[in-house]
Amino acid sequence: MANPSLRCDQTPAWAALKAHHAASPRPFDLHAAFAADPRRFENFSQDAPHVFADLSKNLVDAGTEALLFDLADQCELAKHRDAMFAGELVNSTENRAVMHWLLRNPAPAEETRVKVATNSIAAELTQVHDTLEPMLAYAEKIRADDNITDIVNIGIGGSDLGPQMVVLALEDFRLPGKRIHFVSNVDGSELAGVLAQLKPQNTLFLIASKTFTTTETMTNAASARQWFEARGGKDIARHFAALTTNVAAANAFGISTTFGFWDWVGGRYSLWSAIGLPIAIAIGGAGFRELLAGAHAMDAHFRTAPLAQNLPVRLGLLDVWYRNFLGFTSRSIAPYSSALRRLPAYLQQLEMESNGKSVDAQGTTLPYATAPVLWGEPGTNGQHAYFQMLHQGTDVVPVEFVTVKKAGHGLPGHQEKLLANALAQAQALMLGKADDGGHKHFSGNRPSTFLLLDTLTPASLGALIALQEHRVFVSGAIWGINSFDQWGVELGKVLAKDLEARLESGDSAGLDGSTAGLLTRLRA
């Protein structure tokens, strides 16, 4: 990613934010903030496509936000955003463009398709839809095939977390009679547990690996093929498909049906691509297009809304404020929707793999903190697990409530109780409760953001995901890091290959004492 002329901590706005924080009363008093500004809710909440956000319970005032917008200007945030949407090589360490957003763009008009040679983005968009159409046609074919009752997606990381989260979230839109399973872990018990439920003649395996070399995925794929053949499966070409750019390797595996994507699609941003095939099978081609359309609407908002009314910008800047000035080290994601139960895991990869960096885009060590730790569970389960710490623990943890106004079920009384609990937790975190005895004292002034969808649909979910993607981009751009590489995952892969051979041979020469001792114990 191109860097601003000044690193964020060298800008006048950064110094002004430090001074502002030093001069502000501690702790920030949300009671007083609401009393001083009768319109605080209106001023710190806004609508964006398919998402309403209440930011009023956060530890910011108008002065803080103004300085954060100054920081965005001085770090040339708009320039970074526009570079991404222009197809520039913002992933500098891999010399790649970052254009997952293009996967969500509507198909170009026919006259545009004729002129693609003059516009590389238009040419890419044409290719996107030339790939999307057969992928969705294949999804419809599988949906119409009554002999296929089970679809097993074998992938890991972005080839698993995104599609799995979306399929679970859109359960109300799924086609009856099709069970969709996700296998990611190289631990064979996960695959074995799924295979035990299947019949070869009724199963379709989707092998999702960009390179068709990912160790976990290919190990599981090979075992799935062995299981299939051992139980009389004859037609691998019919019962296996690949989501990959390595067509030759897929063909060598026995797969003839492949759907590819581009090097400008990062794994954690790939659910919009062919990696989303299990989503399309679950909710249909029309539903998948609605998912894309909802995300595209949020793209347009991020691209065109003024910074002060731009929800991804406001959230990303709030993340910088909390991380670098208030020193908060984590954020809890609390989806008050069982359908969104995998959202925290998905967001963990999105944010921590993107912004968990300690060097800037030029490789210089940073003197300030970057990505917080993300964690959470769906409400109301989380209330009976870790909310004790949120209310009375020694660490202040900002909470992000994600709620849905209208339920997808017809059970009376449930949704009202669910929403009442979400409102109550946000209110309790803010207000607290005085108690002289100590044990029942709640300090209050614990910050939270409240995101509200009217209904959970493909379009609203698409918008919510795109909102989170762009929010991560914003904080990464401010910190001057490359949010689109992930070199931190590579070292362990290399060492694992060496240690796998050592587990077989018993050779511990040259290993550190701990690893050698564990290797010996594992072989005993």
Beta strand ranges found along 274-398 (DSSP E): 330-336, 373-375
How far, in Å, are 135, 165, 407 from residue 454 at the CA level? 30, 19, 9
Distance CA 321, CA 21 (A): 10
Q: Which residues are catalytic?
A: 353, 384, 493
How far, in Å, are 141, 143, 145, 221, 285 from residue 138 at the CA level? 5, 9, 11, 20, 9
How far, in Å, are 66, 179, 355 from residue 307 at the CA level? 10, 43, 21
Residue 309 token pair: 């009314």
Distance CA 171, CA 167 (A): 6
Distance CA 446, CA 391 (A): 7
Distance CA 498, CA 496 (A): 5
Distance CA 123, CA 132 (A): 14
Beta strand ranges found along 133-218 (DSSP E): 150-154, 179-183, 203-208
Please list, in sequence order, all residues whose beta carbon lies within 8 angstroms of the beta carbon of residue 410, skipping any fewer than 6 positions away.
none
> Count of H helices and E strands in the chain?
21, 11
Q: Are the C-beta atoms of residues 190 and 184 closer than 8 Å to each other?
A: yes
Distance CA 172, CA 269 (A): 24
Distance CA 186, CA 215 (A): 8
Beta strand ranges found along 376-509 (DSSP E): 399-404, 448-453
Please list, in sequence order, all residues whose beta carbon lies within 8 angstroms of the beta carbon of residue 26, skipping any fewer than 6 positions away.
none
Run of H or E including 257: strand 257-259
Beta strand ranges found along 88-161 (DSSP E): 150-154
DSSP state of 92: T
DSSP state of 243: E
Residue 357 sits at the vertex; the CA angle it makes with 352 and 361, to the nearest 5 degrees, is 130
Q: Are the C-beta atoms of residues 157 and 185 closer than 8 Å to each other?
A: no
Distance CA 402, CA 451 (A): 5
